[in-house]
Amino acid sequence: MKIVVLLSVTTIFVVSCLATLAYASDPSPLQDFCVAVKDEDAAVFVNGKVCKNPDMVVAEDFFFPGLNKPGNTSNLVGSRVTPVNVNQIPGLNTLGISAVRIDYAPNGLNPPHTHPRATEILFVMEGTLYVGFVTSNPADLALKNKLFTKYLYPGDVFVFPEGLIHFQFNVGKTNAVAFAGLSSQNPGVITIANAVFGLDPPINPAVLTKAFQVEKNVIDYLQAQFWTNID
């Protein structure tokens, strides 16, 4: 009897794990659309967005104007991301897709960052970009993370796998423009430097000096900088 129960529990656990893996990204819609209600108007909070009454849905719920307009790159890193996700187009709710426009000044950088919920496919419209992504920690502790890089020109496409740290750098002498599609209605962004050094409250310097193997004055300097997001 104990063996049967143990097998049943094990089976339930395995099935649950497989089910979790099967739905690890955005869930598929169960109707034609599920236009999102603004968070401040929602009576409850769910994983995603509450659906708007279908009878109240209009064409504007699926529309976003102005992606032809360049973003303001007058910031410390010289780039600007214009997002088009479920917060801009409520009709993207449950559809598992979003987009961005990225503008780069000469020497502009979209700093190392990650999208925890999406794979990104980048298309270069103008300029020359040096792009790359870093693999996750290898199972063999003797090995190092691997960097994949490429120089991209107008018409080129590059893919950044879900959750991996990646970047784009304008190596040209003119402005650059790229568009990207992402496999989530709300991909999320974690900019590495901002997340480590620009927090409020800050991470205890003792943690960072140990992690980066540097003196405390280096950490103090980095934490004192003005860290800004570009999207």
The predicted-structure confidence for 156-181, as pLDDT tens digits, reads as follows 999 999 999 999 999 999 999 999 99
230, 81 in Cβ contact below 8 A?
A: yes
Note whether 122 and 210 are same-domain residues.
no
- Residue numbers in the known binding site for Mn(2+) are 113, 115, 120, 166
Count how many domains the chain has: 2
Note whether 47 and 154 are same-domain residues.
yes
Let me know the angle formed at the C-alpha of 54 by 53 and 57, rounded to the nearest 5 degrees: 95
Give pTM, 2 decimals.
Answer: 0.84
Domain membership of residue 50 as a residue range = 29-188
Q: Model confidence over 76-108: pLDDT tens digits?
A: 999 999 999 999 999 999 999 999 999 999 999
Residues in the chain: 231
In a domain, 10, yes or no: no
- Residue numbers in the known binding site for oxalate are 110, 115, 120
Q: Is the dihedral of CA 8, 13, 16, 22 positive or negative?
A: negative
Note whether 108 and 194 are same-domain residues.
no
In a domain, 197, yes or no: yes
Dihedral angle, C-alpha 55, 59, 64, 68, nearest 10 °: 170
Choose between 33 and 170: higher pLDDT.
170
Note whether 182 and 194 are same-domain residues.
no
- Residue numbers in the known binding site are 110, 113, 115, 120, 166
